């Protein structure tokens, strides 16, 4: 294999593929990136078996081939090279990298140790990339990062009458978003569990194009954008009955400017250390936020807001509330509550297809 390309393009492609490389898999093959040259098309692929990411770039190819290169070492070397053209050639189990006056020779990994990457032959649907980015971002923030409960680390995707529904929860909060016009991606009544990590990586790739091709199968999900492809093994297990968690009626409604509340929350949270909750005191006069940290101090902030219902003081984990406000669309949000112990709903006045459920924190 032999080719010539620009350093920046090669650096970006290695970085994209390298995000799927296993960091502690124990397998030599999974610590590498597979480089496949076909004509002037170079494809770089990284995988940890659960997640596979490929990046494609145009190069000046001289001889085709397929090799597996050490991911971290190759990325460090290419990044260190001077701007301009890079020449790469694989000979006798070594990869030669040269640019300007710099030359490197690194040992290749046996191609037999790299997992087989199946060619995609499924039916895809095409969706606007920006809409999918927003939808995944809004729900994946509520997915758990605790691998002891793998089902909760995923995003539940199900076919609904008018589109695709995405739901994630870590048992302390829940985010839900409906995507209209995407019903074809799943059969009626079907559902899958997509790993949250895969969707976080996908968000980085979706900025590369205006649209994304998506396929949700029985065991794997695939996404394609110009110059990159991501596939992930789906999670197994039964997702919680989230519908029963969402209250149908909320007698109290607080309507407030989203950015104003977010900034006040960030200020008060400076004193909300070591899981200290932030109290929201809601009344006809508006909203007061307060945090009291034992042996540290206290903070409070007042925000103009419209409130209808019984005066109520309710407390939340400040991080969970902040993350909900950060992904809520629109300039104005409504916090719907029942009492200080029952789940609250954060909604947007301009996006009825989004909701964020938050469990209160019990305080004395």
- Per-residue pLDDT of 151-210, as tens digits, reads 999 999 998 877 889 999 999 999 999 988 776 778 877 899 999 999 999 988 887 778
Shared domain for 185 and 237, answered yes or no, is yes
Name the burial class of residue 146, with classes exposed (0-12), middle (13-18) and buried (19+) by CB atoms within 10 angstroms of its CB. exposed
56, 80, 113 - which closes a domain: 113
Residues 294 and 254 in one domain: yes
Q: How many domains does the chain have?
A: 3
- Among 123, 67, 124, 127, smallest CA distance to 97 is for 67
Residue 310's pLDDT is 96
363 belongs to a structural domain: no
* Whether the model pTM is above 0.95: no
CATH number assigned to the domain comprising residue 316: 3.10.150.10
Does a structural domain hold residue 118? no
| 69 and 180 fall within a common domain | no
pLDDT, tens only, 86-122: 999 998 899 999 999 999 999 999 988 888 876 665 6
Range(s) of the domain holding residue 140: 125-244
- The list of the chain residues with pLDDT below 70 reads 23-26, 118-122, 183
Asked if the structure places residue 145 within a domain, the reply is yes
Are residues 255 and 239 both part of a single domain? Answer: no
- The predicted pLDDT at position 23 comes to 64
Question: Which residue in the block uniquely carries the two structure tokens 């297809």?
Answer: 353
Final residue belonging to a domain, choices 244, 272, 294: 244
Does 39 lie in the same domain as 18? Answer: yes
Q: Examine residue 364 and state whether it is found in any structural domain, yes or no.
A: no
Does a structural domain hold residue 331?
A: yes
Q: Tell me, what's the pLDDT at 79?
A: 96
Q: In what order do the strands lie in the sheet with 191-195?
A: 191-195, 154-160, 163-169, 173-180, 354-358, 344-348, 332-337, 252-257, 306-308
Query: Does 224 lie in the same domain as 290?
Result: no
Same structural domain, 103 and 130: no
Is residue 306 included in any domain, yes or no? yes
Of the three residues 82, 113, 144, the one that is the final residue of a domain is 113
Q: Specify whether 132 is located in the same domain as 50.
A: no
95 shares its domain with 179: no
The residue with tokens 């924190």 is 361
If asked whether residues 329 and 272 sit together in one domain, one would say yes
Tell me, what's the pLDDT at 273? 76
């Amino acid at each position: 294999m032999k080719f010539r390309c620009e350093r920046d393009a090669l650096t970006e492609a290695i970085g994209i593929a390298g995000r799927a490389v296993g960091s502690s898999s124990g397998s030599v093959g999974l610590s590498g990136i597979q480089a496949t040259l076909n004509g002037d098309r170079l494809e770089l692929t990284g995988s940890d078996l659960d997640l596979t990411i490929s990046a494609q770039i145009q190069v000046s190819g001289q001889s085709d081939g397929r090799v597996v290169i050490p991911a971290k070492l190759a990325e460090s070397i290419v990044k260190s090279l001077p701007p301009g053209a890079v020449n790469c050639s694989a000979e006798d189990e070594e990869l030669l990298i040269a640019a300007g006056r710099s030359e490197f020779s690194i040992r290749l990994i046996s191609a037999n140790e790299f997992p087989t990457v199946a060619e995609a032959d499924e039916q895809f649907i095409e969706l606007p990339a920006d809409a999918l980015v927003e939808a995944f971002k809004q729900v994946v923030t509520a997915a758990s990062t605790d691998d002891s409960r793998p089902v909760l680390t995923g995003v539940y995707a199900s076919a609904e009458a008018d589109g695709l529904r995405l739901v994630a929860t870590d048992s302390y909060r829940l985010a839900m978003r409906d995507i209209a016009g995407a019903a074809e991606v799943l059969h009626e009544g079907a559902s899958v569990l997509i790993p949250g990590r895969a969707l976080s990586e996908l968000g980085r790739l979706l900025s590369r194009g205006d649209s994304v091709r998506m396929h949700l199968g029985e065991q794997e999900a695939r996404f394609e954008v110009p110059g990159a492809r991501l596939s992930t093994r789906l999670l197994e297990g039964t997702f919680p009955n989230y519908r029963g968690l969402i209250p149908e009626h909320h007698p109290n409604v607080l309507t407030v400017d989203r950015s104003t509340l977010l900034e006040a929350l960030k200020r008060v949270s400076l004193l909300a250390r070591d899981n200290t909750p932030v109290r929201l005191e809601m009344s006809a006069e508006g909203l007061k936020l307060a945090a009291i940290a034992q042996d540290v101090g206290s903070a409070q902030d007042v925000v103009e807001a419209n409130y209808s219902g019984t005066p109520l003081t309710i407390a939340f984990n400040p991080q969970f509330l902040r993350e909900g406000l950060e992904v809520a669309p629109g300039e104005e949000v409504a916090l719907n509550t029942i009492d200080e112990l029952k789940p609250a709903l954060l909604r947007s006045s301009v996006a009825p297809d989004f909701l964020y459920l938050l469990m209160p924190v019990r305080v004395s």
